[in-house]
Every structure is written in structure tokens, then in C-alpha cells.
Amino acid sequence: AQSVTQLDSQVPVFEEAPVELRCNYSSSVSVYLFWYVQYPNQGLQLLLKYLSGSTLVKGINGFEAEFNKSQTSFHLRKPSVHISDTAEYFCAVRNTNDYKLSFGAGTTVTVRA
């Protein structure tokens, strides 16, 4: 079974500054990787996904993530954040031969002016 670790539970950041959210996973087989965002009292919205191919993946709202197989990481980045990026972010991993999606504990990003 796979596990997912989000290394930071809370990340405060100033508006227009860059942000990086770290995600590491463990799995004995190949995986698919996802980042989701959750705004207060709402469901999860898909930001981006890595299935295969280029290790740099671009998503919605200016986010991107890089898959590093040797370090089993899938870190999320945005070069310049907005107040509206304040939300909780979840990294999720699925083995390529399984329906089960495993989630990290989440990282709360708070953007301040």
C-alpha cells in the first residue's frame, strides 16, 4: 500500500511571493499523482495530475508540479500567489493498478497582503 506525506501542515506566504508545497510518497509500484485544492466548506477541485511523460506538469490557476521518481516526490509550486489562493491543498497518489486514491493530510496556505 502506498502512503503520502505532506511535509508542511501550514504555509503562510505574502501576496505575490512564490510558494512551494512539498509532497513525498512511498509505493512499490508505478503511480499516478494528483494535487487538489479545497476552499472552506467545499469539495476538492483538481489542480493538476501526473500520469506519464514530462515530469513538469502545468495545472490551473498558474500552479505547476514536478515529479521526481528517484526522490518519490511531487512538489507543487506557484511563482506568485494571490489572496484567492488561500485554501487547503492535498496531494494524492494512486497505484497504476488500483482504484484506491491515498491522500496526504493537507497543507493550509494562507496568503497575506
Partner 1 sequence: DGGITQSPKYLFRKEGQNVTLSCEQNLNHDAMYWYRQDPGQGLRLIYYSQIVNDFQKGDIAEGYSVSREKKESFPLTVTSAQKNPTAFYLCASSYRDYNQPQHFGDGTRLSIL
CB 38 within 8 Å of CB 67: no
Question: For 83, phi and psi rounded to 5 degrees?
Answer: -55, -40
Among 16, 17, 45, 62, binds partner 1 (CB under 8 A): 45
43 sits near partner 1 (criterion: CB under 8 A): yes
103 sits near partner 1 (criterion: CB under 8 A): yes
Residues near partner 1 (CB under 8 A), total: 26
Show the cell assigned to 87: 485554501
Q: Are strands 10-14 and 107-112 parallel, antiparallel or unpaired?
A: parallel
Task: Build a one-symbol-per-residue string for 13-42: x at contacts with partner 1 by CB under 8 A, - elsewhere.
Answer: -------------------x-x-x----xx
Cα–Cα dist 15/84, whole Å: 10
Residue ranges binding partner 1 (CB under 8 A) = 4, 9, 32, 34, 36, 41-46, 49, 51, 90, 94-101, 103-106
